[in-house]
Amino acid sequence: MKRKIIMSVALICLAVLPVLIYHTCFQSKVAYVDIPKVFAGFEMKKELQLKYKETETARAKLLDSLSFGLQRLSAKVKANKEDRELMYEFDAQRQDFFNRKKRLEEDNVALSNQYDKQILEQMSQYIMDYGKKKGYDLILGTEGNGTLMFANEKYNISTEVTEFINDKYKGIE
């Protein structure tokens, strides 16, 4: 009787062992996220986009007002073609306008790059946190550019990830 029990246990072990080995070695937990979708749904991106727009608009308004002043001066110059002093003043203001315009455009690009970097940094960190929390071995990012040619939709965790990274960002998670 005892021998039978030992044999049965041994047989069960033999049957279960390959399954365990298979699960341990070959059943990695893998999923993918649609990066543009996650990026678009990330609250930080929405907030910083708004903040950027405000800054860009304020700068554009400043340039508009400078441009308006320059146009008025230009009209004066046309009306007083003999006034050399006015001409010099116009040249100086025009130069100043183009310098400022160039600087503000560069500042806009720098600000946009800075925000993008911050967004990507936080997004990547929170996706990593999600992977660790949920026990993933691998989370792939797809951008529709051929880095991931095909994956079954069941492996797409973009919605869950977006929810998680937003909670993380808001300090709720």
Partner 1 sequence: MALLLLSACGGPDNAGRKGFSATAVELEHTNERLPMNEFLAWVANDENELAKTKELNEIQYKMCYLPKQTMAYMELKDEAYTNEQFMQACEHYSEMSYFNFRLALTEGSGELLKYGLGSAAEYNERVNYMAFKMQDDIFLIQGKDTLHPGLFHFERIYEVAPYATVMLAFDDKKFDKENEFTIVYDDQLFHKGYIKYNYRPKQLIDLPNLTGV
Residue 112: closest CA among 169, 53, 165: 53
* Cβ neighbours of residue 43 closer than 8 Å, sequence gap 6 or more: 166, 169, 170
Q: What is the C-alpha end-to-end distance of the chain, expressed in Å? A: 56
Asked if 122 touches partner 1 (CB under 8 A), the answer is yes
* Cβ neighbours of residue 155 closer than 8 Å, sequence gap 6 or more: 30, 31, 32
Binding mask 41-60 for partner 1 (x = CB under 8 A): ---x--xx------------
Exactly one of 121, 137, 143, 160 binds partner 1 (CB under 8 A); which one?
121
Exactly one of 29, 53, 61, 170 binds partner 1 (CB under 8 A); which one?
170
Within 123-162, the residues that bind partner 1 by CB under 8 A are 125
Nearer to partner 1, 32 or 169 (CB): 169
Applying CB under 8 A, the residues found at the interface with partner 1 are 44, 47-48, 114-115, 117-119, 121-122, 125, 168-172
